[in-house]
A and B are shown apart, each in its own frame.
Chain A
């Protein structure tokens, strides 16, 4: 009923399988997010497709490969391609991960964990600043999913993220499912983690489904192949109640349902955002 004014509400990760449905969808305030790595080509049908979606809906770019927490600076050629794409589609947000995936000219397709030490903090801050300079805009950084206990961490993750915000002026993308998965795997308190994140820095929220590892019972995997779980919705409600409405994305990469089903799930987030906006106004 009530549109959220001036702020994009809930969006969906966009898959090629849903191109026609996405293009013709008239849902108010609907926005989409894509991985820029899938659109860094010189031309052709996929870029034309993205342009067509962009002409109807706002888009966000969610990078998976800048390797900001890695041993090296971001690949300059990759950064130039990203800047070109940013210029082309004028995304509402550009995000990346607190993770690494590159070393010595090779790329490893995963979001690998980095120790939260002073050394990593300095390199990460430099890499974020370099990226923001190259793109001529602020980026937002996403908290990763954790599967391993790492005794060497010198910082808690919320403090580490807060310090990165302070040093670089970047924003934060809070993936509530990642917090839930990490908390379950490492035995920490997800709600307490969310409480400690600086509200003013949070520019986007991610929601996704997870699943239990087939070989390792009890280990939760950030698999993006299921509907958002009930406890993740609860954490999300709590977060939005504390910090206010933020653009919220439903991510789904595996076992892709029909577009209408995703749109219905997105509607849950949209209703939570709208209710929160009303509360703030009244």
Chain B
């Protein structure tokens, strides 16, 4: 018996409950083999539940468990740090037939993912806002570098931010007058904790442009193209104050 064969066959038995390999078949025949099958999948499902709490709250445990198990079967973790597991879960949800009646679910999942990424990101220093102000008032066109923990997302047709926000707060409830329209979100970590606030389409486009290396003038033009009535100075001031940037050059 080659070593790798045992391992491959063991995983086959975990995944599919079958093995043609005599040794592994003898293990699988023991009722206790179920302990390994259960633990492996429970580890994946529990990690997804921890990483997608708003999705879990929206759909309930039973539905979530089914979707998470299907995801785990299709996407075994590629990293032992399960706090980052489930990168493709939002897209996976978008492709689920059973999620068709919940068109906002992938967008809500994407915001859960943004939260995890913000939480795990590096401790970038805060932007020197006074220096930026001085540079801009001197007419310099600088490039702003988004903070490692800043995440943003514009959802063009669904109020995903409102739905997500309500489902991330212990006592959160959706406003009864929720308007069915596009919404954006900005997640930042200004004081060591992940915070979030609504963001408009122009601000999200501005941040995209900054991340792509465009200057403030270029990014502002891109943001205005997206949202012509945007007050660029107010938007930029809001982003700086929120802690969306770490430096400029």
Contact = CB atoms under 8 A, between A and B. Distances in A.
Contacts of A198: none
Chain B, interface size category, equals 35 or more
Contact of A103 (B8, B30, B148): B8
Interface string B65-102: 00000000000111111111000000000000000000
B119 A110 contact: no
A38 B119 CA distance: 12
B32 A109 contact: no
Contacts of A150: 23, 27
What is the interface of chain B mostly: helix, strand, loop, or mixed? helix
B192 A110 contact: no
Interface stretch (B33-41, B134-142, B200-208): B33-41
B241 interface: no
Contact of A101 (B8, B80, B192): B80
Nearest to B123: A43
Given A107-B76, A152-B23, A44 B3 contact: no
Given A41-B83, A108-B40, A115 B6 contact: yes
B82 to A, nearest CB: 6
Q: Which of A42, A100, A109, A151 has the most CB of B within 10 A?
A: A109
A65 interface: yes
Interface residues of A, number: 47
Interface string B185-216: 00001001110000000000000000000000
A87 B194 CA distance: 26
B225 to A, nearest CB: 33
Given A44-B149, A151-B26, A216 B78 contact: no
B35 A44 contact: no
A44 B79 contact: no
14 contacts: A37-B80, A44-B123, A71-B4, A78-B80, A81-B81, A107-B76, A107-B78, A107-B80, A109-B40, A110-B39, A147-B32, A219-B31, A219-B35, A221-B35
